[in-house]
Amino acid sequence: MAEPGGFRRWRQSMPTFAAWWRRRKLRRLYSLRGRLLLWMLLPLLLVLSCSGVIAYYQAVYYAYSEYDQTLYDHVHSLSQLVEKHGKRVSLNMPRQAKRMFLWDDFDTTYYQISTANRVVAGEKKFPMPHGRILKYYDTLIFDGEFKGTPVRVAILVADHPELGQAVQVKVAQTQHRREKLTRKILLSVLAPQLALIVIVILVVSLGVNRSLRPLSAMSRALDAQNHQRIAPIPGTGVPREVLPLVRAINDLLTRLDEALASQRKFVANAAHQLRTPLTAIRLNLDRLLTSAPGREHQEAEAHLRASVERTIRLSRQLLMLARAEPEGLRQTPLALLDLVDLAREEGMEWVPPALAMGVELSLEAPDQPVWIQAHATLLREALSNLIDNALKYGSRPGRVVIGVSAVPTPGLWVQDDGPGIDPAVGDKVFERFFRNDEGGDGAGLGLAIVKEIAVLHAARIELGQGLEGRGLRVSLSFPLPEERIVPAAHHDRP
């Protein structure tokens, strides 16, 4: 038999509904508002439970105490009406008094007067005790059952001398009135407590919602952020406990905004600078393909090769500039590095190009190691750019000197004997894509890379005169390392 369509759709939707309900419960459980309310409501519920139990037992105690006193009075009143006539014991109770004694609009009262031999008056049978028997002065009180109804029974043994024998006076009463009184007492105690707890819950919920309102404002402010508009989150009205979070988020947003601005600027500059060599490559390639073998073909091939080399060098410098961003290497640890070894090794790599240009490349360094804490790869790139600039703009033939100093602080410098730079230009040479020469083949990134690496190492960069009072000298002064520890495998140079 096929399932009805509605039932089948309902059965298929059940897993989806169950999953939605679980997610809803989890969101409530793991929300800050839910946790605060939970931790505040649990003690309130515990207090209410304890208060309810205490109030219940108090209500039972007072109700039973009141009606036990009534039973006590009843048995003693009946005992006063027991008389002896000759050898027989009887109850001297007028009909009107009996009616008054037994009348009650809620409960039914039973009694029995008996001696050791017979029942003098009242009920022929009387309930036996159930459970604990309470001694109330000279009276025994206990719970029982009579005619299928729970009753409270009081027994007094009257042993008056004039009676000549012991007489038991028993009174039983149903418990409707005392149960009603118990409920009244319990309600009178719990109702104000419930009202108070409801008020407290409402006030606490309102307080939690108002206290969490700044977090909602923070969430809205964060949702409004985008890569083109990043603004700090306002800290007005924020609780003191949340202020560190606001400061941390604002600090993160500030760094993110700076990184995005730097990235946008870098991408724009890179696109602008790559356009020229790529256009030159395309023109020279077209020229190479259309020219006949000969001198013009060779010139086109040489220009194409030069354009490719320039593009490769520019892309390499752009990648190095991106790597030298302080944000990119914020978490990279510094290592102990010897400036003398670095200058010697890097200088050796530039000897062949220097000889090909007719330039004498030399090193001036102390015999002892000069230790700093640095990124070896980036520092090699900075020195390589300084040597490249010195060879490119120095005299030919000429001299380029690489120098290392130890006092007053560790330093590294490169100087040449070229024309130098115009003093009016000043620190503009450290700006990205700024070129001091007209028509040169550089991209204006060499000194910008050096400046970025210097900033990363907290080093001071300075420009000065080069060799023989002319040319250019670029110096890097590094802070002293935190620990001047020489590795065990390293020894002083001879």
321-375 confidence digits (pLDDT tens): 565 555 544 445 678 889 999 999 888 888 888 888 888 989 998 989 989 888 8
Question: Is residue 494's pLDDT more than 50?
Answer: no
Least confident interval from 164-178, 201-215, 216-230, 397-411 = 216-230
Identity (one letter) of the amino acid at 464? Answer: G
State which CATH number among 3.30.565.10, 2.60.40.10, 3.40.190.10, 3.30.420.40 fits the domain covering 333-477: 3.30.565.10
Reply yes or no on whether the pLDDT at 54 is more than 70: yes
Q: Are 332 and 323 in contact (CB under 8 A)?
A: no
The pTM score is 0.44
pLDDT recorded at residue 136: 85
Q: Which pLDDT value is given to residue 171?
A: 92
Q: What is the mean pLDDT of residues 440-455?
A: 68
Going from N- to C-terminal start, the domains of the chain cover: 1-27, 81-176, 243-322, 333-477
Q: Which three-class secondary structure string do you get for the chain? A: CCCCHHHHHHHHHHHHHHHHHHHHHHHHHCCHHHHHHHHHHHHHHHHHHHHHHHHHHHHHHHHHHHHHHHHHHHHHHHHHCEEEECCEEEECCCHHHHHHHHCCCCCCEEEEEECCCCEEEECCCCCCCEEEEEEECCEEEEEEEECCEEEEEEEEEECCCCCCCCEEEEEEEECHHHHHHHHHHHHHHHHHHHHHHHHHHHHHHHHHHHHHHHHHHHHHHHHCCECCECCCCCCCCCCCCCHHHHHHHHHHHHHHHHHHHHHHHHHHHHHHHHHHHHHHHHHHHHHHHHCCCCHHHHHHHHHHHHHHHHHHHHHHHHHHHHHCCHHHHCCCCCEEEEHHHHHHHHHHHCHHHHHHHCEEEEEECCCCCCEEEECHHHHHHHHHHHHHHHHHHCCCCEEEEEEEECCCCCEEEEEECCCCCCCCCHHHHHCCCCCCCCCCCCCCCHHHHHHHHHHHCCCEEEEECCHHHCCCEEEEECCCCCCCCCCCCCCCCC
Q: Identify the pLDDT of residue 333.
A: 67
pLDDT at 2: 47
Model confidence band, residue 153 (pLDDT cutoffs 50, 70, 90): very high
d(CA 59, CA 67): 12
Q: Which two tokens stand for residue 139?
A: 């009276």
Quick check: 420 pLDDT over 50?
yes
pLDDT above 70 (res 491): no
The per-residue pLDDT for 13 is 52
Q: What is the mean pLDDT of residues 179-206?
A: 82
Mean of the per-residue pLDDT values for the chain?
A: 77
With the CA atoms of 210, 211, 216 and 218 taken in that order, what torsion angle do they form, in degrees rounded to the nearest 10? 130
Please, which residues have CB within 8 angstroms of residue 278's CB and are 6 or more apart in sequence?
A: 311
Q: Is the pLDDT of residue 278 over 80?
A: no
pLDDT, position 446: 64
Does 234 or 438 have the greater pLDDT score? 234
CATH topology of domain 243-322: Helix Hairpins (1.10.287)
Higher pLDDT, 487 or 20: 20
Q: Percent of the chain, pLDDT > 90? A: 4
Specify the pLDDT at position 489: 39
Q: Which residue has the higher pLDDT, 232 or 18?
A: 232
List the structure tokens of 364: 């001036």
Which among 212, 218, 185 is positioned nearest to 66, based on CA atoms? 185
Give dist(CA 421, CA 205) in Å, integer: 71
State yes or no: pLDDT of 14 exceeds 70.
no
pLDDT at 280 exceeding the cut of 80: no
- Residue 436: the pLDDT is 59
CB 470 within 8 A of CB 417: yes
Average pLDDT over residues 179-198: 81
Task: Say yes or no to pLDDT of 9 above 80.
Answer: no
Tell me which range, 171-175, 266-270, 275-279, 281-285, is most confidently predicted by mean pLDDT. Answer: 171-175
- So what's the pLDDT on residue 492? 41
pLDDT of 199 strictly over 50? yes
- Where residue 437 falls among pLDDT bands split at 50, 70, 90? low
Does the pLDDT of residue 185 top 70, yes or no?
A: yes
Same fold, 243-322 and 333-477: no
pLDDT band at residue 493 under the 50/70/90 scheme: very low
**Is the predicted pLDDT of residue 425 greater than 70, yes or no?**
no
Task: Tell whether the model's pLDDT for residue 109 goes beyond 80.
Answer: yes
Is the pLDDT confidence value at 212 over 50? yes
Whether the per-residue pLDDT at 139 is higher than 70: the answer is yes
> Does residue 262 carry a pLDDT above 80?
no
Match 């730097």 to its residue by tokens: 262
**pLDDT of the residue at 178:** 80
Instruction: Report the share of the chain in percent with pLDDT over 70.
Output: 78
Q: Report pLDDT digits (tens) over 74-86.
A: 888 888 888 887 7
Q: What is the pLDDT of residue 154?
A: 92
